[in-house]
Amino acid sequence: MDANDVQGDIKHVLFSKEVIDAKIKELAAQIDADYEGKDVLLVGVLKGAIMVMADLSRALKGHYTQDWMAVSSYGSGTKSSGVVRILKDLDTDLSGRDVLIVEDIIDSGLTLQWLQGNLKSRGANSVEICTLLRKPKSVKTDVQVKYVGWDIEPEFVVGYGLDFAERYRNLDCIVTLAPHVYS
């Protein structure tokens, strides 16, 4: 779906499909250079990272395996409870592997910091993070992120995997929503 399909719901297009594609290729080139010759596992964080993971893995030149996790710290509310639950765990043994967590966006960073520590405790050689978007003004912890597409303001964004009430994930761009959508 492109922005024209939901034009009335969009306040502003932050990143077009073409701009996102170029950024993904740039991140892939950095990752390929850093991990040349290593046994790397890409770990996508469901559901938001689906688009980033798919396009990033296609842009990478080396051999990378993939696995997926789903974690939650929200329960049924809209604010983090601070307690992380694993909803879907990895199928892959991490012993001796270099792990690259692939994320769509980093807000507070609390869940991601917990996840990074959890994966390190499983015997991985290294656990790094790649995210398409980060909100530096919202980050509440010193989570180390090796690859960042863009730093953005702390506004609510959707598209390219990011959702509002499970909608807009399939937008091929990243946008802010018009207030009438969520009010």
At 95-146, the pLDDT tens digits run 999 999 999 999 989 889 999 999 999 999 999 999 999 999 998 988 999 9
Percent pLDDT > 90 in the chain is: 84
Among the listed residues 21, 107, 163, 172, the single catalytic one is 107
DSSP code for 167: B
pLDDT of residue 183: 81
pLDDT at 81: 56
The listed range with the strongest mean pLDDT (13-22, 67-76, 138-147) is 13-22
Enter the pTM of the model: 0.93
Band the pLDDT of 82: cuts 50, 70, 90.
Answer: low
What's the pLDDT band for 77 if we cut at 50, 70, 90? very low
Of 5-14, 69-78, 169-178, the least confident: 69-78
27-35 contact pairs (CB < 8 A, 24+)? 27/56, 27/59, 27/130, 27/132, 27/147, 27/149, 28/56, 28/59, 28/60, 28/61, 30/147, 31/56, 31/60, 31/100, 31/130, 31/147, 32/60, 32/61, 32/62, 34/146, 35/62, 35/64, 35/98, 35/100
To the nearest whole number, what is the mean pLDDT of the chain?
Answer: 93
Helices (H), 35-108: 50-59
Token pair in block for residue 63: 């051999």
Distance CA 31, CA 43 (A): 14
Query: How far is C-alpha 160 from the chain's CA centre?
Result: 10
Catalytic residue flag (residue 107): yes
Look at the alpha carbons of 100, 101, 104, 105 in this order and tell me if their dihedral is positive or negative. Answer: negative
Domains of the chain: 17-153 (3.40.50.2020)
